[in-house]
C-alpha cells in the first residue's frame, strides 16, 4: 500500500510540474533605451500611434537612466514629430527639450542642424495656426542655415538645401512671397538629387503666389518624378490648375487626363500592395493557428497519458474494494457521458454559428446587390477617380438606398447628431460605400491628408471619439 501511495505522489508531482511549465513564461530582460526606441519606430510605421508614443516616452526615461543622451534627444524629437499633428505647441516644447539635451552633450553637427530646423518648422506652424509672430521660427531656422553653411564642406549641400527650403516656407506663410521665392531659388540651385523634387514643388508654389504662372509651369514641366506616381499626379493637377487660370482649356484637359491616368495607376498599385500584405498576414495567421493547435494537442496527449497512468495506479490500489471501484467506474462513465453531451452541444453550436454566418453572408450579398443596382451609386463607382458633382436628389437617393438596407442608419445619425452638417453626412455616406481616402480625395479634388483631417474632426468633435487608433469606419459602424 505504501508503494502505491508513493506512485500516486510521484504522478501528482509530475502533473504539478507540467502545469507549472505550461503556464509560466520566462521573464525577459529589461529592454535598453535604444531597443525601446527601435520598437517605437516600428509601431509608428504600423500606424500604432498610442503604442509608439508610449514606447518613445519609456525610451526617454530609460535613456536618462542609462545616460544615453543620443537616444534621448532622438526619441524626444521623434515624439515631437508624432505630437505635431494634433498639438503643435507640445511638439515645439518637446523639440526645444531635445535641443537642450543635445547642447549638453553634442555629438553630431548634422543632428544639431536638424534639431534647429525642426524647431523652426514647429514654431512657424504654431505662428501660422494662431496668427502669431514668426520671429522665433525665423531665428531658429536662420541659425540652422548659418550652421549648415559653415559645415558645407563636411556635410555637403543637403542641410543647406533643407534650411533654405524651410526659410522659403516660413516667408511664404508670412505672405512675403518675393523673399520666399528668393530662398526657394537658392534651395533649388544647391539641391542634391534626392531633395530636388520637393524643392522644386516649393519653388513652383512661390512662383504661383507671385503670379509668375509661366515660370511655375516651366518648373513643373522640368520636374522628373520617375516612378513616383503620387508626385506625377501632383504635377499634372497643378499644371491643370495653371492652365485653367490662363483659360487654356485644351492644355487643362490634357493635364487633367494625364493626372487622372497617373492617379488611377497609383490607386491600383496601392490595391495590389494591400492585397499582397493581407495575403502574407493571412498565411502567417494560419501558420500560427496550426502551431497553436499542435501545442494544444500535445498538451492534451500528455495530460491523457498521465491521467491514464493515474487511473491504472488507482485501480491497482483499490482492486479489493469493489464498492469504491464500482463507484469510480460509474463516475468515470458519467464524466464520459457529460463530455459526449458537451461535444454534441459544441457541434450544434458550431452548426448554428455556421448557419448564422451563411445567413449574414446572404444578407450582405443582397445589400451589395441592391447598392450595385442603384444608378447614382453606379455613377459614383464609375467616377471614383475624377471629380464629380452629385445633385441633391442624387445624394438623397443614395441615402434612401442605404437607409433601406441598413435599418435607417443615416436617418438615426441625423436624429442623434443634429450638429452633423450635410457635407459631413455625405462623407459618412462615401465611407459606408467603402471608398478609400484616396478615392474620396480624388472625387473632391483634395489631398488624402485633407480627407483624413476631416474624418478626424467629425470623429472627435461630433462623434466624441478621442482614441486616435480607432478608424473612422469602425466608429461609424458602432454608431
| pLDDT value for 28 | 47
CA Rg value for the chain: 32
- The contacts of residue 445 (CB under 8 Å, 6+ apart) are 237, 387
Higher pLDDT, residue 365 or 259? 259
Q: Residue 111 has what pLDDT?
A: 92
pLDDT at residue 365 tops 80: no
> Do residues 243 and 255 make contact, with C-beta atoms less than 8 angstroms apart?
yes
CA angle 413, 416, 420 (to 5 degrees): 65
Q: Determine contact, residues 199/188, Cβ cutoff 8 Å.
A: yes
| H runs (alpha helix) in 46-108 | 49-66, 69-83, 88-104
Give residue-wise pLDDT tens across range 168-186.
999 999 999 999 999 999 9
pLDDT surpasses 70 at 248? no
Percent of the chain with pLDDT over 90: 26
pLDDT score of 81 more than 50: yes
Residue 350 has pLDDT above 90, yes or no: no
Q: At what angle do helices 69-83 and 109-130 cross, to 10 degrees?
A: 20
CA–CA separation, 266 vs 227, rounded Å?
10
**Which of 139-153, 348-362, 410-424, 429-443 has the lowest average pLDDT?**
348-362
Start-to-end C-alpha separation, the chain: 68
Residues 423-447, mean pLDDT to the nearest whole number? 85
Q: Residue 371 above 60 pLDDT?
A: no
The top-scoring range by mean pLDDT among 5-14, 62-71, 348-357 is 62-71
Residue 348 buriedness (CB in 10 A; 0-12 / 13-18 / 19+): exposed
C-alpha–C-alpha distance, residues 152 and 160, integer Å: 7
Tell me if 123 sits within 8 A of 136, measured CB to CB.
yes
What pLDDT is stored for residue 4 in this prediction?
46
Give the C-alpha separation, 37 to 71, whole Å.
7
Instruction: Tell me how far CA of residue 432 lies from CA of 139, 240, 391, in angstroms.
Output: 47, 31, 19
Mean pLDDT of the chain: 81
Cell readout for 160 is 543647406
Q: CB neighbours of 258 closer than 8 A, spacing ≥ 6?
A: 236
Of the pLDDT bands very low, low, confident and very high (cuts 50, 70, 90), residue 26 is very low
Is the pLDDT reported for residue 69 higher than 70?
A: yes
Domains of the chain, earliest start first: 33-277 (1.25.40.10), 375-478 (no CATH)
Separation in Å, CA 391 to CA 255, 430, 437: 26, 15, 22
Q: Tell me: the pLDDT tens digits for 6-19?
A: 545 554 454 454 44
Find, among 141, 148, 131, the residue nearest to 166 by Cα.
141
pLDDT in tens, 279-328: 665 666 677 778 888 888 888 888 888 888 888 888 777 778 888 888 88
Confirm if 41 and 78 have CB atoms less than 8 A apart.
Answer: yes
Question: Which among 276, 241, 275 has a CA at the least distance from the CA of 255?
Answer: 241
Phi, psi of 30 (to 5 degrees): -70, 130
Amino acid at each position: 500500500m505504501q508503494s502505491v501511495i508513493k506512485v500516486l505522489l510521484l504522478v501528482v508531482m509530475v502533473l504539478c510540474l507540467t502545469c507549472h511549465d505550461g503556464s509560466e513564461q520566462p521573464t525577459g530582460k529589461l529592454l535598453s533605451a535604444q531597443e525601446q526606441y527601435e520598437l517605437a519606430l516600428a509601431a509608428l510605421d504600423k500606424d500604432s500611434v498610442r503604442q509608439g508614443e508610449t514606447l518613445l516616452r519609456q525610451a526617454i526615461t530609460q535613456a536618462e537612466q542609462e545616460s544615453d543622451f543620443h537616444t534621448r534627444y532622438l526619441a524626444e524629437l521623434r515624439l515631437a514629430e508624432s505630437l505635431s499633428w494634433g498639438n503643435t505647441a507640445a511638439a515645439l516644447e518637446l523639440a526645444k527639450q531635445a535641443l537642450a539635451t543635445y547642447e549638453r552633450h553634442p555629438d553630431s553637427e548634422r543632428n544639431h542642424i536638424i534639431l534647429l530646423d525642426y524647431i523652426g518648422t514647429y514654431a512657424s506652424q504654431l505662428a501660422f495656426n494662431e496668427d502669431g509672430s514668426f520671429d522665433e521660427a525665423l531665428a531658429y531656422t536662420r541659425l540652422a542655415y548659418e550652421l549648415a553653411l559653415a559645415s558645407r564642406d563636411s556635410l555637403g549641400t543637403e542641410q543647406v538645401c533643407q534650411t533654405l527650403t524651410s526659410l522659403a516656407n516660413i516667408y511664404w506663410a508670412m505672405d512675403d512671397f518675393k523673399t520666399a521665392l528668393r530662398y526657394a531659388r537658392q534651395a533649388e540651385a544647391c539641391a542634391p538629387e534626392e531633395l530636388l523634387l520637393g524643392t522644386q514643388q516649393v519653388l513652383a508654389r512661390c512662383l504661383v503666389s507671385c503670379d509668375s504662372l509661366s515660370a511655375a509651369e516651366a518648373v513643373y514641366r522640368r520636374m522628373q518624378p520617375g516612378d513616383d506616381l503620387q508626385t506625377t499626379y501632383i504635377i499634372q493637377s497643378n499644371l491643370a490648375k495653371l492652365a485653367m487660370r490662363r483659360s487654356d482649356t485644351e492644355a487643362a484637359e490634357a493635364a487633367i487626363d494625364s493626372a487622372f491616368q497617373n492617379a488611377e495607376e497609383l490607386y491600383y498599385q496601392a490595391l495590389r500592395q494591400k492585397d499582397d500584405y493581407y495575403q502574407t498576414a493571412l498565411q502567417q495567421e494560419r501558420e500560427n493557428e496550426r502551431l497553436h493547435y499542435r501545442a494544444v494537442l500535445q498538451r492534451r496527449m500528455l495530460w491523457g497519458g498521465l491521467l491514464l497512468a493515474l487511473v491504472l495506479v488507482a485501480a491497482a490500489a483499490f482492486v479489493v474494494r469493489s464498492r469504491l471501484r464500482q463507484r469510480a467506474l460509474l463516475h468515470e462513465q458519467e464524466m464520459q457521458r457529460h463530455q459526449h453531451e458537451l461535444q454534441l452541444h459544441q457541434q450544434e453550436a458550431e452548426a448554428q454559428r455556421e448557419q448564422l454566418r451563411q445567413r449574414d453572408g446572404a444578407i450582405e450579398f443582397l445589400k451589395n446587390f441592391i447598392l450595385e443596382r442603384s444608378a447614382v451609386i453606379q455613377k459614383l463607382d464609375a467616377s471614383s477617380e475624377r471629380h464629380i458633382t452629385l445633385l441633391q436628389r442624387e445624394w438623397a437617393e443614395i441615402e434612401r438606398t442605404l437607409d433601406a438596407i441598413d435599418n435607417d442608419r443615416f436617418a438615426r445619425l441625423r436624429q442623434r447628431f443634429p450638429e452633423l452638417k450635410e457635407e459631413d453626412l455625405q462623407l459618412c455616406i462615401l465611407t459606408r460605400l467603402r471608398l478609400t481616402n484616396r478615392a474620396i480625395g480624388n472625387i473632391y479634388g483634395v489631398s488624402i491628408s485633407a480627407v483624413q483631417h476631416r474624418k478626424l474632426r467629425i470623429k472627435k468633435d461630433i462623434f466624441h471619439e478621442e482614441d486616435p487608433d480607432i478608424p473612422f469606419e469602425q466608429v461609424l459602424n458602432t454608431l
